[in-house]
Amino acid sequence: MSDAPRTRPGAGDIIGRVIFGGFWSAVTLGAVIFAFSSFSGGNSGPGLGALVIAVLTGLYARYIFRGGRIRFLFF
**Per-residue model confidence as pLDDT tens digits over 45-61:** 999 999 999 999 999 99
Confidence of residue 38 (pLDDT cuts 50, 70, 90): very high
Where are the domains positioned within the chain?
A: 24-65
User: 58: how many CB neighbours lie within 10 A of its CB?
Assistant: 17
Rounded distance between C-alpha atoms, residue 8 and residue 44, angstroms: 45
Spell out a b/e string for 32-48, using b for 16 or more CB atoms within 10 Å of the CB, else e: bebbeebeeeeeeeebe
Return the higher-pLDDT residue of 23 and 9.
Answer: 23
User: Whole-model pTM above 0.75?
Assistant: yes
Confidence of residue 13 (pLDDT cuts 50, 70, 90): confident
Residue spans of alpha helices (H) in 1-75: 11-40, 44-65
